[in-house]
Structure 1
């Protein structure tokens, strides 16, 4: 897929993986719209990075997703790429006495529901393009769970399964929409890093620049999935010895 002169929507585009891809795609001569919850953060990011367009919205809210979809349809009907990058990661113990039920599923609302809702809401618009693409961001933890991040791992496994189903349905329907799953390992320079390091810092990082390089190449080649770095090992380990790997993540 040609990655220039396109209008691209990036959720979670004000930090981390989303912002890194937004900036890389902006440099290629695209119109890039970054979605974020906080207007002040959007204002700061778009001020620092001239050319980015900010759109305030919350992917974990169905009503907000509907409003964003309507706005994008009316103002950017030519949009042809959706990059689903919004996500949160938390380490917590399910055995805590005072675990807040709503907070325990916060990652489901953002990571999984947000990906599904944004995709579903924008499918009619993307289907009208001559060629379009949907990118989802899962994780190496979609193959092997991290006991320290129980809900995050579950949501990323859900994103992985949803992406495969989406790809098959769109192909069967004859839609010219490419679907790519980006499967990052632990990535340095993201706002997920501090929680991830609660595993003891024994997991090697991948730089954002390296991840973006792999991801952009995958998008250009219409790859079904991009599984770089440690994620390749986790994909293999998830098939043959998942319990041992998961237990190793909480050993001191």
Structure 2
């Protein structure tokens, strides 16, 4: 797909991968709208990136998205790209008696339900464009589970499955002018998804390198962009998923819960 002269909505566009993609795509001659939940952060981003537009909503709360399609149709009727990058990640001890129901569902609501909701709400607009694209950000942990991140791993596996199903429904409905891309990042410490992880961590990929890989994959209409160490995780998930997950668990549980569970 030609990555110029598009109108693009990016959820989670005020930080991390979403912001990195927003800034790169804007310099390529696209109109970028960043969607975020924090009004103060949106103001900061627009100050530093005056060519952006913004929409305030919390993808984990579908009721805040109900007016989005009408707003897009009124202000950006040529919107033809959606990138779902909003995401949160936490390590959780499942034996912790203080682990609340809200904590159990927070990542599901943001990472999975938020992605599904935005795609579903904007699908009618996207299929009307001459060419369109949906990019859903999953993770290398969609292929092999991290025992320290049980909810994150589950949500990203869900994003992977949903993205594949969405692509096939579009093809079956003869809307194959709407390209569906799954962007599969490895660890990208610069995103601060986890504040305890440094850029020296094993498997870390520079944000700029991830953006490069994403742009190339989108240009080539790849159905899936396994970036950096995510390539090895996908292969391990196909060849030896049980052994890989057990080995990862031995390392990561000690790292995140050094005193045991």
Q: CA deviation at 1:248?
A: 2.7
Task: Indicate if the aligned counterparts of 1:20 and 1:212 stay in contact, CA closer than 8 A.
Answer: yes
CA deviation string 1:22-76 (max 9, x = no partner)? 0000001111000000111000011012211121111111111221222112111
1:153 match = 153
**SS of structure 2 residue aligned to 1:10:** strand
1:234 match = 233
CA deviation string 1:93-148 (max 9, x = no partner)? 11111210121110000000000000000000111100100000000000000001
2:258 match = none
2:116 match = 116
Counting only pairs closer than 5 Å after superposition, residues 18-29 of structure 1 correspond to structure 2 as 18-29=18-29
User: Does residue 1:144 correspond to 2:144, yes or no?
Assistant: yes
**SS of structure 1 residue aligned to 2:182:** strand
Task: Indicate if the aligned counterparts of 1:186 and 1:193 stay in contact, CA closer than 8 A.
Answer: no
TM-score, with structure 2 as normaliser: 0.92
**SS of structure 1 residue aligned to 2:190:** coil
Query: Which blocks of at least 5 consecutive residues in structure 2 are unaligned?
Result: 255-261
2:248 match = 249
Counting only pairs closer than 5 Å after superposition, residues 80-91 of structure 1 correspond to structure 2 as 80-91=80-91
- Over 6 Å off, 4+ runs: none
Q: CA deviation at 1:188?
A: 2.5
Q: Distance in 1 between matches of 2:35 and 2:93?
A: 31
Q: CA deviation at 1:187?
A: 0.7
Task: Indicate if the aligned counterparts of 1:90 and 1:149 stay in contact, CA closer than 8 A.
Answer: yes
Q: Distance in 2 between matches of 1:69 and 1:158?
A: 24
Task: Indicate if the aligned counterparts of 2:236 and 2:244 stay in contact, CA closer than 8 A.
Answer: yes
**SS of structure 2 residue aligned to 1:105:** helix
TM-score, with structure 1 as normaliser: 0.95
1:168 match = 168
Q: Distance in 1 between matches of 2:167 and 2:150?
A: 26
Classify 1:81/1:248 alpha carbon distance in 2 versus 1 (closer, same or farther; 3 Å): same
Aligned-pair RMSD on alpha carbons? 1.4
1:32 match = 32
1:98 match = 98
2:62 match = 62
Q: Distance in 1 between matches of 2:69 and 2:129?
A: 15
User: Which moves more between the two structures, 143-152 or 54-63?
Assistant: 54-63
Q: Distance in 2 between matches of 1:64 and 1:73?
A: 17
